[in-house]
Amino acid sequence: MSFIDKLLGRKPSADSAKERLQLVLIHDRTDLTSSELESLRDDLIATISRHIEIDVSEMQFGLEHDGRSQRLVADIPIKRVPRRRAKGKSKAR
Amino acid sequence: MPAQVITITSGKGGVGKTTAVANLAVALAANGSKVVCIDGDIGLRNLDVILGLENRIVYDIVDIIEGRCRLKQAMIRDKKLPDLYLIPAAQTRDKNAVSANDMNRLAKDLRSECDYLLIDSPAGIERGFKNAIAPADRVLVVTNPEVSAVRDADRVIGILEAEGKGPAALILNRLNPVMVKKNDMLSPDDVLDLLAIELIGIVPEDEGVIVGSNRGTPVASDPKSKAGQAFRNIARRITGEEVPFLDLDHSGGLWDRIQKLAGRK
Ligand SMILES: Nc1ncnc2c1ncn2[C@@H]1O[C@H](COP(=O)(O)OP(=O)(O)OP(=O)(O)O)[C@@H](O)[C@H]1O
Ligand SMILES: [Mg+2]
């Protein structure tokens, strides 16, 4: 990393290499492209939403690796409002 | 004891497979093991010139497989190291002249003839690679600290696992400690983090490797060469010896450790 790089606030090239490889390897290993992962996420949201209300904006979803094995990690907050009571209210109205 | 069959492969081309096979063969044979190496790169024969044996070739691996010669007739014995033999690749044939079964049969016949059978795999993940790993008891994957080489190594490591040939061990070749220090090259720790496999050796970038290949004398036979030292250490680890990566006498930081890992200290 040169003086100029530092001056421009560019990160060391080895760091870029590592970060880029981390993503590429996860996709290579799972044979999933970013867009396939996206559509998996959408399907998951659709399925879960048929049962409970979830907070999609706060949802975490992605692939992580643990040694050489990959895992799909999803952390999905459930909306506070209890469904039945919400329904009941609307009926009463 | 029957020989251990070790295949050296990489995915990406030009990362140092042939260099590693030649140097490990020389280092193992210099320590008294009987070593046979097979050039598995059919059509792109190279191990013969790196070992300085190119003028002695009469028969090659396809001649053995197709029954034109006996096994021993195609085994070229090194002049300096009488325990080192080479079975050259065929130069005028393509990789379809050899099958995985042929390799298994050949390795079976050679197991009783030596202590180590080293197979130099061609680049890629196709037939030549599949042939080269078929008889392997152990696979060493060579990579360089560069994005494309690491990515391809990961692919190959995954295939080896799926084929029941894992876990592979890693040779990180052409490490440039000056670039690592400047944060312009992936460090050994970075590469191990990414690939998550066992490390068997780090070989520094060393001009001596090219000088050695010019002469047909691998650097492992040069006691002063850094890369040679690194290959000798890997050979000792192959025989089961515990050779430290780290010199504990120097209580250095990360930089010291990398220098030592790379054999510069
Ligand atoms: N540690 C090193 N320092 C300097 N040069 C090296 C080192 N290792 C290998 N080289 C050089 O890199 C080039 C490629 O090496 P080599 O032929 O061993 O690679 P390979 O993986 O067998 O290639 P291929 O995929 O074509 O079979 C050669 O010119 C070799 O001298
Ligand atoms: Mg080669």
Query: pLDDT tens-digit profile of B158-181?
Result: 999 999 998 999 999 999 999 999
3-state secondary structure B94-136: CHHHCCHHHHHHHHHHHHCCCCEEEEECCCCCCHHHHHHHCCC
The dihedral through the CA atoms of B47, B49, B50, B53 has a sign that is positive
What digits encode the pLDDT tens for the residues B105-130? 999 999 999 999 999 999 999 999 99
In tens, the pLDDT along A27-84 reads 899 888 888 989 999 999 999 999 999 999 999 998 888 888 888 999 999 987 665 6
b or e along B217-241 (b: 16 or more beta carbons within 10 Å of the residue's beta carbon)?
bbbbbbeebbbbbbbbbbbbbbeee
**Helical residues (DSSP H) of chain B, grouped into ranges:** 17-30, 47-51, 61-65, 100-111, 127-133, 147-162, 177-181, 188-195, 207-215, 226-238, 254-261
Q: What percent of chain B has pLDDT over 70?
A: 92
Structure tokens at A19: 């970060």
Is A7's pLDDT higher than 60?
A: yes
DSSP characters for A43-89?
HHHHHHHTTS-B-GGG-EEEEEEETTEEEEEEE-PBPSS-HHHHHHH
- Which residue in B64, B12, B14, B16 sits closest to B38, CA to CA? B64
Residue of minimum CA distance from atom 12 in ligand 1: B16
Query: If DSSP codes are grouped into helix, strand and coil, which group holds residue B4?
Result: strand
Residue B185 lies in a domain: no
Query: How many domains does chain B fold into?
Result: 1
- For residue B255, the model assigns a pLDDT of 55
B51 lies in some domain? yes
Give the CATH number for residue B106: 3.40.50.300
Domain of B255, in residue numbers: 4-139+209-263
Q: Read off the tokens for A63.
A: 């692939």
pLDDT of res. A66: 81
Q: In a 3-state reduction of DSSP, which class is residue B259?
A: helix
Q: Which two tokens stand for residue B1?
A: 């004891």
pLDDT of B254 above 60: no
Q: Does a structural domain hold residue B147?
A: no
pLDDT bin (cut points 50, 70, 90) of residue B27 is very high
Integer Cα distance of B215 and B199 in angstroms: 30
What pLDDT score does A31 carry? 85
Residue B250 pLDDT: 37
pLDDT score for A85: 55
* B20 CA from centroid of ligand 1 (Å): 8
Q: In which band, very low, low, confident or very high, does the pLDDT at B258 lie, cut at 50, 70 and 90?
A: low
Q: Please tell me the total number of residues recorded for chain B in this structure.
A: 265
**Which residue has the CA at smallest separation from atom 29 of ligand 1?**
B210
The per-residue pLDDT for B143 is: 98
Is residue B10 lining ligand 1, measured as CB closer than 6 Å? Answer: yes
CA–CA dist B212, B208 (Å, integer): 6
What do you get for the CA distance between the two ends of chain A, in Å? 67
The answer, yes or no, to whether residue B33 has pLDDT greater than 90, is yes
Residue B13's pLDDT is 98
Residue B153 belongs to some domain of the structure: no
- How high is the pLDDT of residue B242? 94
Q: What is the per-residue pLDDT across B49-71, written as a single tens digit (0 to 9) for each?
A: 999 999 999 999 999 999 999 99
Q: Alpha carbon of B209 to those of A59, B31, B246: distances in Å?
A: 53, 20, 23
Main-chain dihedrals φ then ψ at residue B149, nearest 5 degrees: -65, -40
- Rounded to the nearest angstrom, the minimum Cα separation between A6 and chain B is 12
Q: Does residue B81 fall inside a structural domain?
A: yes
Query: Which residues touch A91 (CB under 8 Å, ≥6 apart)?
Result: none
Lowest average pLDDT, out of B86-100, B219-233, B240-254, goes to B240-254
ipTM rounded to 2 decimals: 0.84
Q: Which residues of B touch A32 (CB under 8 A)?
A: none
Task: Let me know if residue B116 belongs to a domain.
Answer: yes
pLDDT in tens, B194-221: 999 999 999 999 999 999 999 999 999 9
Q: Cα separation of A63 and A37, whole Å?
A: 9
Q: Does the structure show a pLDDT above 80 at B260?
A: no
Q: pLDDT for B78-96, tens place per residue?
A: 999 999 999 999 998 887 8
Half-sphere exposure of B244 (CA within 13 A, CB side): 8
Cβ(B152) – ligand 1 distance below 6 Å: no
The per-residue pLDDT of chain B, averaged, comes to 93
User: Average pLDDT, stretch A3-20?
Assistant: 85
Which tokens hold the place of A50? 């048929």
Q: What percent of chain B is predicted at pLDDT more than 90? A: 89
pTM of the model: 0.88
Residue among A15, A21, A25 whose CB faces B183 most closely: A15
From chain A residues 19-38, the ones with a CB under 8 A of any chain B CB are 20-22, 24-25, 28-29
Q: Flag whether pLDDT at B249 surpasses 80.
A: no
Q: How confident is the model at residue B257 (pLDDT cuts 50, 70, 90)?
A: low
